[in-house]
Structure 1
Amino acid sequence: MSFRDAFQSYIDHPEKHSDLVLYHDEHVIIIRDLFPKSVRHYLVIPRSTALTHVHPLDVFNRNYKDFTGEELYELIGTYVEKAKEMIIEDIDKSLGNHPNNKLKLAEFKNKFIKSGIHSIPSLRNLHIHVITQDFFSTRMKHKKHYNSFTTKFFVEFDKLNPNYNAGYCKLRSGTSDKYDDYDSDSVHSSESDEDVMVIKNVRNEAVLNDIIKSTPLQCTICGATFGNKFQKLKEHMEEEFTKKYSSFEGYDVNKLIKSQI
């Protein structure tokens, strides 16, 4: 089996991979990323054979035998939220479950955890990233790694909602029975006739590769820019990491990162 199919064994036999599989049921598995790019980096991976090899920008924009694209999006959304809750629970545990952290952790969940997909996935099985925005990891090795999560190359889960996709709206209304003709080559536009926002995502691989290669490095927390100086960014992100997490009661960097090593 090729590396690009690395998730298949986890999908087929999650019970054999308790070291990485944090949750599973008939619909999904939730695992730790094999090469985490942040202190907490999980993946939500649908198990259905009908979904697993569909491109992530297309998967919610079609109907299936057992559910519509909207129903699928809502279903997977519940697991994305579950993964966020699991991240918060894990961080809370590492901090000693201090009651004083509850409100801060709720804000942390809403503002400091993002979910979404890579426009050019490195692995074949459909997967949704759920990741804290500290990018404090030994696996964060170069500019492309960082920019793949902090530029338009990374499409947030909210922007995959089929109700904001022109092609799916036509499919739902019965004016089209095709999903392969979706126009997904620009970023955002609005259908002025009905004042409906339509989200269109970059699909051109040359453009996407240029985005992660050429976009200047920028801190996700304070917005400081570092050009191509990746090591400077890493040093800065370590400082931001300490500021962010040391505000919690029970902060201990070794306990916080232990499960991610």
Structure 2
Amino acid sequence: SPSPSPSPSPSPSPSLKLTLDAHARKALLMYVREPRAPEVAAYVFYEDTDFVVIYDGYPKALVHLLVLPRARIRGPRQLRPEHLPLLEKLQCLTDALRANLEAQQRERYPDVPGAAAISVGFHAVPSLEPLHCHVVSADFSTARMKTKHHYLSFATGFLVPLERVRSWVSAEAPSPFEAAERLVKGSLACQRCKRPMATMPALKAHLPRCWVGVRSGT
């Protein structure tokens, strides 16, 4: 089963920086290929016969992992009914990860609002291939959380929950992706209280206070 205690994400070496050009779009493939170079293997948090779980090279929160199926699937829109058994296994794995990580975060970061609230989902428009599922906490407190697009792509429905994707693949729900695409084009605002924010530093200063205010009902 997945380890409940991840160590901090290793610092990316220059050779592993995931630049968003055409060549690097498939950079995640190196984590599912064998054998791995030592600097690539350092990013692996957990693996089994179906999945490789890695630390995100640019973590947007205290917890930020990527779950990559070993099966080659380009992205979430390429998922088909024949992939449902894989998605069921992914659900089981991410449920275990979320339970373990939330318990760990409550103990490790009791004073960091959002650190123990874990979301699991796919970006509606992924920037990298192959298929990868984000496991990310809601503190959004790291130095890598820099831009409006960063925040809106994780704090809104642009991060499409795994459960919704499974429902779509099984033909029980319409496609969630088209509507989700628009959510990163809005103005910068706290997604908890909807208060507009002028800058990212202002937002990041506001988020911990907002968590406390929402919990207390103020």
Name the TM tier (shorter chain). 0.7 to 0.9
Does the CA contact (< 8 Å) of 1:43 and 1:129 recur in 2? yes
Task: Select the structure of larger CA radius of gyration.
Answer: 1
Match of 1:146 in 2: 151
Match of 1:46 in 2: 69
The AA in structure 1 aligned to 2:137 is T
Match of 1:104 in 2: none
Aligned equivalents of 2:27, 2:195: Cα separation in 1: 35
Match of 1:211 in 2: 183
Deviations 1:37-61 (A, max 9, x none): 1111111110113x2x2x21341x3
Match of 1:62 in 2: 81
Q: CA deviation at 1:219?
A: 4.1
Root-mean-square deviation (Å): 2.9
Per mean C-alpha deviation after superposition, the further-off stretch among 230-239 and 74-83 is: 230-239
Aligned pair count reads 186
Deviations 1:216-252 (A, max 9, x none): 42144xx2512443221011125457x69xxxxxxxx
The alpha-carbon distance between structure 1 residues 202 and 92, as it changes in their structure 2 partners (threshold 3 A), is closer
Does the CA contact (< 8 Å) of 1:31 and 1:42 recur in 2? yes
Where do residues 50-129 of structure 1 align in structure 2 (5 Å cutoff)?
51=73, 53=74, 55-59=75-79, 61-63=80-82, 69-88=83-102, 90-91=104-105, 94=108, 112-129=117-134
The alpha-carbon distance between structure 1 residues 89 and 19, as it changes in their structure 2 partners (threshold 3 A), is farther
Match of 1:176 in 2: none
Does the CA contact (< 8 Å) of 1:44 and 1:83 recur in 2? no
Match of 2:162 in 1: 157
Q: TM-score, normalised by structure 1?
A: 0.62
Gaps of 5+ in 1: 64-68, 96-100, 102-107, 170-196, 245-261
Q: TM-score, normalised by structure 2?
A: 0.72
The AA in structure 1 aligned to 2:105 is I
The AA in structure 2 aligned to 1:136 is S
Aligned equivalents of 1:91, 1:150: Cα separation in 2: 19
The AA in structure 1 aligned to 2:81 is R
- Residue among 172, 175, 187 paired with 1:200: 175
Does the CA contact (< 8 Å) of 1:136 and 1:238 recur in 2? no
Aligned equivalents of 1:213, 1:159: Cα separation in 2: 21
Q: 1:25 aligned to 2:48?
A: yes
Question: What stretches of structure 1 move > 6 A for 4+ residues in a row?
Answer: none
Q: CA deviation at 1:89?
A: 5.7
Gaps of 5+ in 2: 1-21, 214-218
Q: 1:133 aligned to 2:154?
A: no
- Residue among 28, 33, 37 paired with 1:12: 33
The alpha-carbon distance between structure 1 residues 119 and 219, as it changes in their structure 2 partners (threshold 3 A), is closer
Match of 1:249 in 2: none
Deviations 1:146-194 (A, max 9, x none): 0011223221111011xx33x744xxxxxxxxxxxxxxxxxxxxxxxxx
